[in-house]
Structures are given as structure tokens and as C-alpha cells.
Amino acid sequence: MKQQNISILHNPRCGKSRGILQALIKQGYHLTVIEYLKNPLSEKVIADICHLLKLPPSAIIRKKETVYSSEYKDKKMTESDYLKALASHAILIERPIVFTDKKAWLVRTEEALDNLLTELS
């Protein structure tokens, strides 16, 4: 088992999230799985993850979600507003996000997975 403190924001109902989790386990990584829909994240934790991603909160929001369309779509929002929305509605957080204490990756594609595995090894 590869030793690194790695966490994944995981939604078990999401095929991409399940696939990335399985790929990392298959590679021998031990992960802390954070089911963020069951255990919503605070604004601070989301801000910390955004900092590790080097992305603003607006870049990790799922705009196709119903709650986004009904509550936020036509509003003028600051990054602080996006952060509050992500903390209030965990379903809006893009997934999967894999992170260590030094860096984070939004792993939506095979290429992103390859980059992650390269950086972790």
C-alpha cells in the first residue's frame, strides 16, 4: 500500500467518482473517503480545497444541478457567494476532488487521472 495522506471528495452515486476511487485503490493508495453529501463541508474546508486546487469557488460549482438553476443561475455572485452556496448545497461541489495537504486535483477525465497518478508517484 502506498503511503500518502490522500483524501477524496466522493459521491458514491457518481460514476466518475466511483471510477477514480477504484483506480486509486487499484494503484495501491489508501484514501480517506469523504462522502460530502452525508457530511457537508464548511466554508473554510471548501476554501482550503479551492486554495489547494488553485481555483476559485466558482470553478468547482456544478451549474447543471437543479438547485443552481433555481437559486443561483441569474444572480450576480462574488466568490464568497459561491463559497456560501457550495457549503449550503453540497450537491453543487464538482467531483471527484482528490487532495493531499499540499495539493488538490479535480479528476473529471482520464487525462486528469493520469496526471494525478504521475504527481502522486
Per-residue pLDDT tens digits for 28-55:
999 999 999 999 999 999 999 999 999 9
Residues tagged active-site:
14
Q: Specify the pLDDT at position 18.
A: 95
Residue 57: how many CB atoms within 10 A of its CB? 25
Number of domains in the chain: 2
Shared domain check, 53 and 88: yes
Shared domain check, 103 and 88: no
Shared domain check, 77 and 119: no
**Predicted confidence (pLDDT) at residue 1 exceeds the cutoff of 80:** no
Output the pTM of the full model: 0.92
Shared domain check, 72 and 54: yes
49: amino acid identity, one letter? I
**Predicted confidence (pLDDT) at residue 4 exceeds the cutoff of 90:** no
If pLDDT is split at 50, 70 and 90, which confidence band does 10 have? very high
Rounded to whole angstroms, the Cα distance separating 4 from 98 reads 12
Overall average pLDDT of the 7-12 stretch: 96
The range of the structural domain enclosing residue 46 comes to 40-92
Cβ neighbours for 36, distance < 8 A, ≥ 6 positions apart: 9, 10, 11, 90, 93, 95
Strands 2-9 and 29-34: parallel
Q: Specify the pLDDT at position 54.
A: 97
Measured CA distances, 69 to 9, 53, 61, 72, 112 (Å): 23, 25, 12, 6, 27
Among residues of the chain, what percentage have pLDDT more than 90? 91
